[in-house]
Chain A
Amino acid sequence: MQTYTDILIIGAGVVGCAAARALSLRTKADILVVERAGDVAEGASKANSGIVHAGFDAHPGSEKARLNVLGARMYPALCAELQVPFRACGALVVAFDEADRATVENLLAQGQANGVPGLRIVEREELLRMEPNLNPAAVCALEAPTSAIVSPYELVFALADHAALNGTEFRFDTEVLGLTQTESGWLAHTAEGDIACRCVLNCAGIDSARLHNQVSADKRHLTARRGQYDVLDHPETPPFSRTIFQCPTKMGKGVLVTPTVHGNVLLGPTAEDIPDGLDVATTAEGLADVFAKAKLTWPGVSLRTAVTNFSGIRAHEDRGDFLVGRTAPHCWEAVGVESPGLTSAPAIAEELAAAILADEAFPAKPREETAAPYRRAKPFNEMTAEEQAEAVRKDPLNGQLICRCEVVTEAEIRAAIRRPVGARTVDGVKRRCRAGMGRCQGGFCAPRVVDILAEELGLPKTAITKGSGESRMLVGEI
């Protein structure tokens, strides 16, 4: 079976979905996003620190620096428009000795060169007043007031929904095995047949170099750099109000301790180069490393309230920078998008969309009328009592609590499945509405979520999966 589309986007991570949205808002051309996993945001986009970086880390003049600063500026308006949880909580890069102080001062200079606003050095006394739970051994810190936190996967869901409402098609469980150039564009080969397109955008994350090397003589190599994290339950009072970084190393930004937009505390990541880019296992050594390093920042850290741990894979390009742009005729790519990739994604998407639409082979089909973003109801547990009362009156399913830990209603779970690019798995429900995200980790609500998914999708319960592929929750009936 052969499919035709005008624009083929490979990869439904934050870059692919942001590009799909940016394109779909400008053109009526057919856009198809193919993704090898079963949902959007299944790779690095779901498993990262969720930080919108201010932009002091990257070397001035690099694509990382340029796109980071541009992307960071777009976040507040983008998240407001798409109703994505976002908070400009600020960040501190803490120095624990005089060598660190030199690093921090260098970051300040670098940040200023990159055009990051509001950076300053905070000395110990003020620092400990700002963050009383910080290790008193700290000597000073770089404060970056524009650093922010975001729910990374919720951003991707919102981008994908908005793209879908503007006509973008999504096809999951579809891996692009190869790309062949044709007279009129490209042919993407998949196990289910070829997809012909006029132009192709490769944003396949950790898999992007494989496709790149098929279309370009300028060979690239990605290293899978794994980062492991611990997630703690939301405490009554958060230990830190800002994201707390340690000084960066050559492997990355070091271990951070940060609040999340949902009030949890995130510790991590490690940075380990591994052979398999799909190996998102955590290890005893990795988790021990996270804990030991987090303890330097936060001497009072305890894993007593840990709810889970996870790993994400950074796609580290050997030359250390993003490759964003046109790499072959009618072919655009975003390769090596590791941190600050989440921050840069909106800017990467805008640039790629503009470039693709300027392509001479491209049919001019400007879109005049655009669909508004998907409007998600306010989360039940963020409503006032009056709003909750009204919500139940409007839809009695708001009165049926399913997830007790995160206070998620049946109405919210059904909405998570019914939204434009809706949940099809237990994890998809979890990330869209937080059912199962809490301290019992779905112990109570998973059976109910399976029931609701089966009902909404018209599938037997035994066909429901946790995540992608054959991750079945159940093996049969009794």
Chain B
Amino acid sequence: MSEIDKVRKDLVIIGGGPAGLAAGIAAREAGVEDLVILEREDEAGGILRQCIHNGFGLHRYGEELTGPEYAARDIAKAEELGLDVRCGTTVLSVDGEKRVTAVSKKDGLQVYEAGAVILAMGCRERPRGALGTPGTRCAGIYTAGAAQKFVNMEGLMPGRRVVILGSGDIGLIMARRMTLQGAKVLACVELMPYSSGLNRNIVQCLEDYGIPLYLSHTVTEVRGRERLEGVTVQQVDAARKPIPGTEINFDCDTLLLSVGLIPENELSQRMGVALSPVTSGAVVDDTLQTSVPGVFACGNVLHVHDLVDFVSDESFRAGKAAAAYLRGEKAEGLTVAVLDGDGVRGVVPQRLHPDGDVTLMFRPAGVVRNAAVTVKSGGRELARKRQMIFTPGEMVALTVKKEQLAGVTDDITVSLEVSGK
């Protein structure tokens, strides 16, 4: 039996998308020389490579870049720093001892014995099967991301008459993309009474092209023996059950799904990293360290972000934290739990050390107008931030200062409070 190559590495970063690249750049700038980024695709950049629309980088660079342009800046920086980015390399497993088993055509099977690991695997789209939509299993049903790959990476059209189920950002972007490519997008159908996408995408991708958005509707039947021939759309009640008599039939050859993103944590789960049932990502502290010491998580594998700018920001922090861990600077001392309060879903981090500035991120549980985020502990309000409107499609980030956290020993609760209540 053949030998397996074992390679010792201070830091192994799993994923070479925007999260992995930013984590690698930050770790190198913080002094980690011996690191490798493992990327399963043939090029670094992750899903940004197929996001040829603009709108990336407004926060980070103050300009509107396309996805490939945004990725190119990190790739150039990584090259300048001499980072070892191994493309075409898929991680098969990671064990609790931080041994990372990966495979590639070029290097074969290798086991990296890592001092620290950063999880940056991103997320995947919820497929049709997870929705349980009844009907036939004909051709022409794609996740929006798969359709985006066909159109933008391969120059191939998945269909001509399109219904989009779900109003996540990729679905909205693909509504515009398919229209520009000559397809007829008949409808965008959203189960919830609000869109889960960014408001700017509703305006620029649906309204500007006259594509109707059906809120509180869903697809209740899929028809077509070979290729898709049509779908039935129905209005749903408050319990999200279809209302009889509201059926609308669309003749279409394509159904695109944009019904949610799921952090890809199968590797994390198998190595024993504790996951949050709310975010489906790892439970982390303010250094983005998971329940397994020396294993950090950032980007969409930790929680699904709305903007890549925030992914990069979070991942820089993970890279720095991993570097500190490798220097032996273990985050020590008291930690307090951070809990979801009213109107708040999935605050990250879930634990923090109250001895430095901490950025809290979450998604609102519903649409709330004229409200404020409050951060409270032991009856004391630590921070507050007002906003005109909160929607689940847009993440909320709030940095709580070291001074505000001073003396906190009780659990911290993050809530949305509506004015006048």
Contacts and interface: CB of A to CB of B under 8 A. Distances in A.
Contacts, number: 156
B76 interface: no
Q: How large is the interface on A (under 10, 10 to 19, 20 to 34, 35 or more residues)?
A: 35 or more
A393 interface: yes
Interface string B335-357: 00000000000000000000000
A278 interface: yes
A476 interface: yes
Contacts of A451: 154
A315 B165 CA distance: 35
B139 A473 contact: yes
Interface in A377-406: 385-390, 392-393, 396-401, 404-405
B10 to A, nearest CB: 23
B156 A392 contact: no
B253 to A, nearest CB: 7
Interface in B77-112: 88, 90, 92, 101, 103-109, 111
Interface string B204-237: 0000000000000000111101110000000000
B388 interface: no
Contacts of B68: none
Contacts of A477: 155-157
B16 to A, nearest CB: 14
Most chain A CB inside 10 Å of its own CB: which residue of B107, B109, B124: B109
Given A404-B90, A441-B129, A475 B1 contact: no
A236 B265 CA distance: 13
A386 B1 contact: yes
A462 B40 CA distance: 26
B249 to A, nearest CB: 15
Given A393-B108, A466-B138, A474 B158 contact: yes
Contacts of A306: 129-130, 132
Contact of A284 (B92, B124, B134, B269): B134
Interface in B118-176: 124-125, 127-130, 132, 134-139, 142-143, 145-146, 149-151, 153-160
Given A280-B136, A447-B146, A471-B138, A385 B109 contact: yes
Given A286-B134, A308-B129, A473-B139, A393 B2 contact: yes
A397 B130 CA distance: 31
B332 interface: no
Interface string A233-272: 0001000000000000000000000000000000000000
A441 B127 contact: yes
Most chain A CB inside 10 Å of its own CB: which residue of B4, B151, B270: B4
A79 interface: no
B134 A475 contact: no
Contact of A390 (B1, B149, B242, B270): B1
A475 B139 contact: no
A401 B139 contact: no
A400 B143 CA distance: 23
A399 B106 contact: yes
A231 B157 CA distance: 30
B419 interface: no
Contacts of B128: 308, 441
A478 B151 contact: yes
Most chain B CB inside 10 Å of its own CB: which residue of A287, A306, A399: A399
A20 B333 CA distance: 72
Interface string B377-419: 0000000000000000000000000000000000000000000
B176 to A, nearest CB: 15
B88 to A, nearest CB: 7
A443 B145 contact: yes
A385 B158 contact: no
B23 to A, nearest CB: 20
A306 B129 CA distance: 6
B226 A469 contact: yes
Given A404-B90, A443-B127, A472-B227, A385 B154 contact: no
A228 to B, nearest CB: 8
A475 B160 contact: yes
Contacts of A393: 2, 108
Contacts of B149: 447
Interface in A437-465: 439-444, 446-447, 451, 461-462, 465
A284 B130 contact: no
B157 A443 contact: no
Contacts of B158: 473-475
A17 B191 CA distance: 45
Given A281-B135, A443-B145, A386 B2 contact: yes
A5 interface: no
Contacts of B109: 385, 388-389, 392, 399
B136 A443 contact: no
Contacts of B329: none
B182 to A, nearest CB: 9
A447 B150 contact: yes
A344 B166 CA distance: 45
Interface in A284-330: 284, 286-287, 303, 306-310
B2 A282 contact: no
Contact of A444 (B88, B136, B146, B227): B146
A192 to B, nearest CB: 19
A397 B156 contact: no
Interface of B: 1-5, 40, 88, 90, 92, 101, 103-109, 111, 124-125, 127-130, 132, 134-139, 142-143, 145-146, 149-151, 153-160, 181, 220-223, 225-227, 242, 253, 266, 269-270
Given A281-B223, A476-B157, 4 more contacts: A284-B242, A385-B111, A389-B5, A474-B158
10 contacts: A236-B270, A281-B136, A281-B223, A396-B105, A399-B108, A404-B90, A440-B124, A441-B128, A447-B153, A471-B226
Interface of A: 230-231, 236, 278, 280-284, 286-287, 303, 306-310, 385-390, 392-393, 396-401, 404-405, 407, 439-444, 446-447, 451, 461-462, 465-478
Q: Which 3 A-B pairs have the closest CB atoms?
A: A308-B129, A466-B139, A441-B127
